[in-house]
Structure 1
Amino acid sequence: MPHIVHVAVQTPAHSAVGELLSYSCDEALPPGTLVRVPLGKRELLGVVWEAPATPDAIPDGVELRGIAAVLRGIEPLSLGWRRLVSFAAHYYQRSLGEIAVTALPPQLRDMTPEQLARRLAPPKAAKSGKSRKAKTEEGIEKAAIDTPPPPDTPLLALSAEQAAVFTQIEQNPGPFLLYGSTGSGKTEVYLRAVQAVLDANPEAQALVMVPEINLTPQLEQRFIARFVPQYGQDAVVSMHSGMTHPQRLKSWLAAHTGRARIVLGTRMAIFASLQQLALIVVDEEHDASYKQQEGARYSARDLAIWRARDSGSKVILGSATPSLESWHASDPEVGRYLRLAMPSRIGSASLPRVRLVDMSQQPRRAVFSPPLIEAITERVRRGEQSLILLNRRGFAPVLFCADCNWKSDCPHCSAHQVFHKGDRTLRCHHCGFTQRVPFVCPGCGNPDILPLGKGTEQLQEELERLLRNVQRPDGDPARVARIDADTTKAKGSLAEQLAQVHAGDVDVLVGTQMVAKGHDFRRITLVAAVQPDSALYSSDYRAPERLFCLLMQAAGRAGRDAQYVQAQGSHPEMWIQTHEPQNAVYTALRKHDYPAFARRQLQERLDAGMPPYAFQAIVRADARSQEAAQGFLAAATQVARDAGLPYLDEVFIYPPIPMAVQRVANVERAQMLLEAGNRSALLRFLNAWQQYLHWLRARPEHKALVRWLVDVDPLSI
């Protein structure tokens, strides 16, 4: 007799298709089994799930479609993994199948059982008469297999602060917030914590997450050096979107089967299938990159807390500038996290001295103040390195005509096209539209169109001009390099450029936030932020927090090697060029006083009723016109009130407004903020509201609507 099997399938977003689809199968399949199922005219990967508590009755005369194939050879996904997926789907208002299937490797989603069997099969014995190419490939594979593991890395002696923190981690269940200054040795604590759980259980696994892809190789090298000699070549694997599909599948299988003891990855790694998870580390936990901004808008950091609690694992959140939500949760009076502090740098290294340059007292239109150029020149002549931070790539944010006020606006977005001088293009950083720079103003024919504002490309050019007569100790001219999203497009280019910096081939590095955190630059003694003030005037209440974190993280790149600084007779410095030197953000930064900054910000948030003292969600609508987008949101509010949805009296719904960049790729965007003093009330209201939003979307009066989505715990408004 056929069995009814319930399967989670990635159905179209907001299609109103049920959480689980029912199929027939000749055998009873355990939950977690991977299957291929028909859906319409397609065949998709699905995950067998537990039967719903109240399954829908199958109408008489309706015959269920059968399972197309079972992907044998892969053990069913664990109950813990399925519970994580269910929680994420429920909390972030997405379909179960969307979360479940997108959490699996892309290559696995398209595999037939035959392809999977070939992938899992052991390599065949070599045959005689092979081609020269085959012999060469075999030799490469054999060499890779026979390559001896890296030598054991001697354990570094822990500082008193590191030892005290490690003892606390061993003796308490957590969750832990490791608040350690830049250069305090947080990574060594992570390594010791991982070592402890692996030693305690021969099957235990650890998950270590970083916010950016470019930080993974650096951390990977340290973990490989520490653990591969002890646990073998497959002990450490990585997971991030920069890997090829075969690489991602290989890492996923190693983690799923338990061969990999340690998984290093970005936010996607939170959904790694780890059957024996014992420890989760979230490095730079404050970083906004942990929040997915497309599709399912989940927070990997928050899911790490939930997964650790559900699986009985320990979790360590680490940062020199914790998010205000985590800092509040670690307040002894709140007591959700145990706060561990490491305020000192390793050895005799000191934190950089912060110097504020009042740009209102400098020459007009100066990109770099004379004192800063003098300080950079001094560093170059001594063979030291400097880092210049500007969080805006390109040459200039906009081209401008003074005669007719024409600006290089994007024709498809309500944003400017950025001028990129290197390839003489105007590029929209929202929709990607690119065109050549016009020879004359398109509005009036004026040949004198000017760049307004500064980008990293312009800063590099200006520094090369100002330092053209400055020589390094070897007599060569000063070398200025730039690292941003434009210079790192080619595969391997970022690693190559970072290697040049580490080798000392670069004297002054200009970059965006991608070089301001996580990197262990040993020769940088000066960091300068050129135009940071724009964040002070932002309407986003999180802007001061982001600015403080970015600047403090950037400052942490200076003076990390105490022996080098001492040998040079130098001292690390952080320069900030600002028109607001008395601002509280800069006042706290000068003292490296994150607790004071956090205290002030949390009080302001408490007074204003903002997170973490309130809970928010955003409902966004994209449509062919702004009127249609806001009309859908207004109608959704009215439907909620007419239906008397539960917890409506505890949720405040703000009127719909255009988004900051209201048009992208010819689609108008509007948003509506929801706020509640209770997280449970907000989530229950959203869950009850879902069916009405689906119903409203299908109404003929909203045919101009392109899509709608819900963002729970948004990071920007």
Structure 2
Amino acid sequence: MPVLRVALDLPLHRLFDYVAADASTADVGYRVRVPFGRGERVGVIVEVAVASEWPPEQLKAAGEILRDLPALPADFFGLCEFASTYYQAPLGEVVMQALPAGLKRVAPVLRRQGRAVRPPPPAAAPELTAAQAAVLATIAVQDGFATHLLHGVTGSGKTEVYLRLVERTLAAGRQALLLVPEINLTPQLESRVRARFPEAGVVSLHSELAEAARERNWLAAFAGEASIVLGTRLAIFAPLPRLGLIIVDEEHDTSFKQQDGMRYSARDVAVFRARQHGIPVVLGSATPALESWANAQGGRYRLACLRERANPAAVLPAVNLLDTRKTVLREGVSEPLLAAIRERLARGEQSLVFLNRRGYAPVLACPACGWVSRCQRCAANLVLHLAERRLRCHHCGFENRVPQACPTCGNQDIHPFGRGTQRVEVWLQEQFPEARILRVDRDSVKSRKQWEAMLERIHGGEADILVGTQMLAKGHDFPKLTLVGVLGADAALFAADWRAPERLFAQLMQVAGRAGRAELKGEVLIQTEYPDHPLYAALAAHDYPGFAAALLKEREQAGFPPYAFQAMLRAEAPEMADAIAFLTTACALPVVQEHPNVVLYDPVPMKLSRLASLERGQLLAESPSRPALQAFLPRWREAIEGIKAPSKLRWHLEVDPLEF
């Protein structure tokens, strides 16, 4: 009797066998109902075999094979198998997480027709600059696989290059997949794409979509009805029968790395998928990831550059450093920055005060006894949100009311220390009572509708001063914004994370790029105690290539990626001793000695050692050879699965980790 090998959404590194009398190899890729435990689940048939390694009497009979949709194609399984193998994740988890929730339900789902979206008025394509035309001449959508790294300064017209490539792809009868890092970037890009291609099917795929909408869009992409798919990282697994082009915008962004479940990089999976289909993939950024830049310098990627802004009247903003050692700060803001804001207000222009810390203050503390507002569940402080009168943990979500007095000594004179966007907003409103101040962070913008309304207010000139976090740093074009003031950037210069300088440079380049994108000249003022730091010198010169070269040289000397390849074993348990003991046992497994090209470091607590009441430890595995590390990991994982651990301990492997 035929045996169905079924992928289920379970954290187990194996498929499940069921018998089905009427099954054939043509059923591979269909969903199927199967008994599991005391209930029933929906899985996907990965293989139809003639026999099972399990005794026949132990095999249960499969339920109905669901043929209401076409079978998932072979290339979809090839992509999932790559991700499963490379990222050491269960194949069932990879396959099932790519499906919309409605397709994984046991009970049939009534699928409604979505409301027709009225296309916006068609938008004419702007005239290309000479640089854009030169870049397009180097990227052919029908010449097979190639990875193109598009390095373009902010405002250089990378999006127009993307749209021209999409146009060529559609003309060839193919589909285009465009990935963006943040959900908030999707609405404005979606409206621009719809306006340019009103007759093409355009759908978006991201986590903020309602379940029914996501399923409709996924099915439209799967059926080939949608010629353009916009999405965040999960969209990289959407099955597209006519895929002809993949674009990854802001490819350096860490949001492309999944941080739970299967921990994959959508950017890297995109490169594999392009190779799998024999199509081009374009990675675009003003500040490419150092791994991508090294690949371009080494010839693995094809480098294309846009060095000037697309608008001939717009020039890159002047970047000036304000030495805070020589000036008095009031609520973290210097007098020169205040004067610059006054000047913009007088001219009817907009200013952005950038502080990548939301809330009113990072901590509430008692000066009498030293009490601080610590999270009960994490190794972190509770952030003061004064508007809501709440103390909130930005890691686990725990929150509490602001106490009237110190919980330890009863002192009523407790103070907020440090500052976040709420505190800066309140203080700026006191300094400029006539100004319209708008705070933009995850506390003030919690949904797509709120975000669209906020953008409409900014574009409509209803805000004079913006106070925001990194939500405002990427991809936005505000013609009247001419000043960007940066607060609190120095903290990342000396962080323990060796990736911190790269991230800080990218963040500051992105936020600086919001200024002066139209005819009005832009200026960026960065408050710092280290005005002579090489990072700020490169930023002032808009010299990403020079900064990247220096940082890559440091990493090569230190043996850090991209000159080494890493995987991280992490364990979490109610007690740190259990997590470290588990990691120590994993480090001493016999299989480790069989792979001399892989080095395992000592187990240590994670930087955020306690999260949601669990203690967390980690163990780094490193090798100068990617193949050597990949050969080691499956054998090591299999040996780790045999370790007898406490029942409440959980562990996972992460390949190419970004967080330490």
TM category, shorter: over 0.9
* 2-structure distance, mates of 1:58, 1:293: 35
- Of 599, 606, 612, 1:659 maps to 606
**Contact 2:366/2:414 (8 A) holds in 1:** yes
Is residue 216 from structure 1 mapped to residue 171 from structure 2 by the alignment?
A: no
- In the TM superposition, what is the alpha-carbon distance from 1:182 to its structure 2 partner? 0.5
* 2-structure distance, mates of 1:40, 1:149: 48
* 2-structure distance, mates of 1:481, 1:25: 65
- In the TM superposition, what is the alpha-carbon distance from 1:287 to its structure 2 partner? 0.3
- In the TM superposition, what is the alpha-carbon distance from 1:66 to its structure 2 partner? 1.8
Superposed counterparts of 1:140-539, under 5 Å? 145=116, 149-170=119-140, 173-201=145-173, 204-228=174-198, 230-231=199-200, 235-331=201-297, 334-346=298-310, 347-363=312-328, 366-468=331-433, 477-490=434-447, 492-539=449-496
Distance 1:704 1:27, change over 3 A: closer
SS of alignment partner, residue 492 of structure 1: helix
Is residue 83 from structure 1 mapped to residue 53 from structure 2 by the alignment?
A: no
Aligned twin of 2:653 = 710
- In the TM superposition, what is the alpha-carbon distance from 1:705 to its structure 2 partner? 4.4
Aligned twin of 2:111 = 119
- Of 15, 36, 41, 2:33 maps to 36
* 1-structure distance, mates of 2:287, 2:479: 21
Superposed counterparts of 1:3-82, under 5 Å? 3-11=2-10, 13=11, 15=12, 18-28=14-24, 29-50=26-47, 56-59=52-55, 62-82=57-77
Aligned twin of 1:472 = none
- In the TM superposition, what is the alpha-carbon distance from 1:686 to its structure 2 partner? 0.8
1:434-459 Cα deviation digits (max 9, x unpaired): 11111111111111111111101011
- In the TM superposition, what is the alpha-carbon distance from 1:64 to its structure 2 partner? 2.3
Q: Which moved more, 1:703-712 or 1:544-553?
A: 703-712
**Contact 1:628/1:705 (8 A) holds in 2:** no
* Matched residue count: 656
SS of alignment partner, residue 695 of structure 1: coil
Distance 1:363 1:544, change over 3 A: same
- In the TM superposition, what is the alpha-carbon distance from 1:73 to its structure 2 partner? 2.3
**Contact 2:377/2:611 (8 A) holds in 1:** yes
* 2-structure distance, mates of 1:518, 1:644: 45
* 2-structure distance, mates of 1:224, 1:483: 26
Identity score, percent? 46
Distance 1:314 1:461, change over 3 A: same
* 2-structure distance, mates of 1:338, 1:490: 38
1:213-234 Cα deviation digits (max 9, x unpaired): 0000000001101112x33xxx
- In the TM superposition, what is the alpha-carbon distance from 1:493 to its structure 2 partner? 1.3
Aligned twin of 1:95 = 90
| Normalised TM-score (structure 1) | 0.89
Give the structure with higher Rg (CA): 1
- Give the letter aligned to residue 10 of structure 1: D
- In the TM superposition, what is the alpha-carbon distance from 1:272 to its structure 2 partner? 0.6
**Contact 2:257/2:265 (8 A) holds in 1:** yes
- In the TM superposition, what is the alpha-carbon distance from 1:22 to its structure 2 partner? 3.7
SS of alignment partner, residue 629 of structure 1: helix
**Contact 2:486/2:526 (8 A) holds in 1:** yes
* 2-structure distance, mates of 1:23, 1:441: 65
* 1-structure distance, mates of 2:242, 2:491: 46
SS of alignment partner, residue 579 of structure 2: helix
* 1-structure distance, mates of 2:506, 2:448: 29
**Contact 2:180/2:249 (8 A) holds in 1:** yes
SS of alignment partner, residue 119 of structure 1: coil
- In the TM superposition, what is the alpha-carbon distance from 1:238 to its structure 2 partner? 0.2
- In the TM superposition, what is the alpha-carbon distance from 1:690 to its structure 2 partner? 1.5
- Give the letter aligned to residue 57 of structure 2: V
SS of alignment partner, residue 195 of structure 2: helix
**Contact 2:435/2:464 (8 A) holds in 1:** yes
* 1-structure distance, mates of 2:593, 2:202: 49
**Contact 2:598/2:629 (8 A) holds in 1:** yes
Structure 1 gap ranges (5+): 124-140, 469-476, 566-570
Structure 2 gap ranges (5+): none
* 1-structure distance, mates of 2:119, 2:560: 51
- In the TM superposition, what is the alpha-carbon distance from 1:348 to its structure 2 partner? 2.4
SS of alignment partner, residue 653 of structure 2: strand
| Normalised TM-score (structure 2) | 0.97
* 2-structure distance, mates of 1:388, 1:484: 12
Distance 1:383 1:55, change over 3 A: farther
* 2-structure distance, mates of 1:341, 1:409: 47
* 1-structure distance, mates of 2:149, 2:16: 37
**Contact 2:329/2:335 (8 A) holds in 1:** no
* 2-structure distance, mates of 1:293, 1:252: 23
SS of alignment partner, residue 343 of structure 2: helix
- Give the letter aligned to residue 484 of structure 1: D
* 1-structure distance, mates of 2:34, 2:495: 49
- In the TM superposition, what is the alpha-carbon distance from 1:672 to its structure 2 partner? 0.8
